[in-house]
Amino acid sequence: MTEGWNVAVVGATGAVGREMLQILQERSFPVASLRAMASPRSAGKTLPFGDTEVEVEALSGADFDGVDIALFSAGSSVSEAHAPRAAKHGATVIDNTSAFRMDDDVPLVVPEVNAHVLDDVDTDGGSIIANPNCSTIQMVVALAPLQQKWGLERVVVSTYQSASGAGQAGVDQLVAELRDWAERGGGADDRPDRGGDAFEHPLAFDALPWIGSTDDSGFSTEELKMVHETRKIMEAPSLSVASHCVRVPAVRSHSESLTVDLQQPVDVDGAQRAFARAPGLRVHDSPADNEYPTSRLAEGNNETWVGRIRRDLENPETLHFWVVSDNLRKGAAWNSIQIAEQLFT
């Protein structure tokens, strides 16, 4: 056990980067020194960390000499350009982008599900570890106890993803649309009629059934991430996964509706017990008392919430349930720091 590690947060001024700084502090992670890195336009700004302020340095001119842990969350192109450079200088890189997730030589990790793959990581530096997509993370946390007890046959998921999944620009667009609507009197005819920087269409008062780009399959990149990443994390290359990803006008936290076909019959009480015993999951499931997971309930905490648990009316091997998690925390910053804790504390 060391007295502390030299940590760099890349993308420190972004929504996820700020959450990383906050969680490092909350967890009393053994930080000997902290460096905050971002784009040149952010260089010179300061960010709070504990009782001090950390000055942001431009990533383009920064070296990684002496950095033990580099937490990246600044976009795939940035990670592709700079994560290998950090690893070459001896840092263990934990990357929150899609840049390396499907690389056969890069572990894709959700600690509650597949922490064992970290056993082969050399903590002396030079390794890159990938953080999965936010929607994938919360889903596999909920799927893991079902896989262990009943076996998985097929997963069908529809996501309801918040504006913050598109970064601060997504939140800014949603807030601007709502403010503009309120200033214009709030009538039905005064709803926003065009998109902004983050979304091609207005998000306020609507749901956008499209996240990402596409290929010849017709599925969006967000939907394909959930398919391929789930198979890799759960070590189930032939698992059938179908996804439909939707953006909704919540500020924070993603929600998911799941229908899962299992290899054996399941009962609701057994499923609730399995969820309740699983690490990182919290059951909130009493609809008659208006108790079920919501975006606001999940906001600001690290757990993945599950509720609306019910067995299919016709198929005893099929389970339906609802999953919610804070996309900036468990879906990004917290998962990254869990990986760091697994390796370094």
pLDDT for position 227 = 98
- pLDDT level of residue 193 (50, 70, 90 thresholds): confident
pLDDT for position 39 = 96
Do both 220 and 145 map to the same domain? Answer: yes
Do both 64 and 98 map to the same domain? Answer: yes
Q: Is 134 a catalytic residue?
A: yes
Axis crossing angle, helix 268-277 with helix 134-149, rounded to the nearest 10:
120
pLDDT for position 188 = 79
Q: How many structural domains compose the chain?
A: 2
- pLDDT level of residue 1 (50, 70, 90 thresholds): very low
Do both 171 and 300 map to the same domain? Answer: yes
Do both 24 and 99 map to the same domain? Answer: yes
pLDDT for position 215 = 83
Do both 292 and 220 map to the same domain? Answer: yes
pTM score, whole prediction: 0.96
pLDDT for position 2 = 55
How far is Cα 19 from Cα 48, in angstroms, rounded to an integer?
Answer: 11
pLDDT for position 278 = 98
Do both 257 and 318 map to the same domain? Answer: yes
Do both 117 and 20 map to the same domain? Answer: yes
Do both 127 and 10 map to the same domain? Answer: yes
Q: What is the CATH number of the domain that holds 204?
A: 3.30.360.10
Considering the candidates 116, 254, 284, 320, report the single residue annotated as catalytic: 254
How far is Cα 190 from Cα 69, in angstroms, rounded to an integer?
Answer: 49
Average pLDDT rounded to a whole number, residues 300-307: 98
Do both 43 and 180 map to the same domain? Answer: no
Do both 193 and 225 map to the same domain? Answer: yes
Encoded tokens for 320: 């339906």
Counting Cα atoms < 13 Å in the Cβ hemisphere of 319 gives: 30
Indicate the SS3 state at residue 135: helix
Q: What is the pLDDT of residues 131-153, one digit of tens each?
A: 999 999 999 999 999 999 999 99
Q: Residue 93 pLDDT > 60, yes or no?
A: yes
Average pLDDT rounded to a whole number, residues 49-72: 96
Average pLDDT rounded to a whole number, residues 161-169: 96
pLDDT for position 231 = 98
pLDDT for position 263 = 98
Q: What is the pLDDT of residues 25-47, one digit of tens each?
A: 999 999 999 999 999 999 999 99
Report whether 14 contacts 73 (CB < 8 A).
Answer: yes
pLDDT for position 275 = 98
- pLDDT level of residue 340 (50, 70, 90 thresholds): very high
Q: What is the pLDDT of residues 234-249, one digit of tens each?
A: 999 999 999 999 999 9
Average pLDDT rounded to a whole number, residues 296-301: 97
Average pLDDT rounded to a whole number, residues 87-111: 98
Q: Which residue has the higher pLDDT, 307 or 194?
A: 307
Q: What is the CATH number of the domain that holds 65?
A: 3.40.50.720
Q: Tell me how far apart the 2 most distant CA atoms of the chain are, in Å.
A: 62
Report whether 130 contacts 267 (CB < 8 A).
Answer: no
- pLDDT level of residue 187 (50, 70, 90 thresholds): confident
Considering the candidates 116, 134, 284, 320, report the single residue annotated as catalytic: 134
**% of the chain exceeding 90 in pLDDT:** 93
Q: 254 forms bridges with which residues in the sheet?
A: 325
Do both 162 and 231 map to the same domain? Answer: yes
Average pLDDT rounded to a whole number, residues 298-327: 98
Do both 85 and 142 map to the same domain? Answer: no
Tokens 């996804």 locate to 243
β-pairing, 52-58 with 31-38? parallel
Average pLDDT rounded to a whole number, residues 191-210: 92
Domain that holds residue 119: 5-132+332-344
pLDDT for position 246 = 98
Average pLDDT rounded to a whole number, residues 273-290: 98
**% of the chain exceeding 70 in pLDDT:** 99
Encoded tokens for 276: 């309740």
Q: What does the mean pLDDT of the chain come to?
A: 96
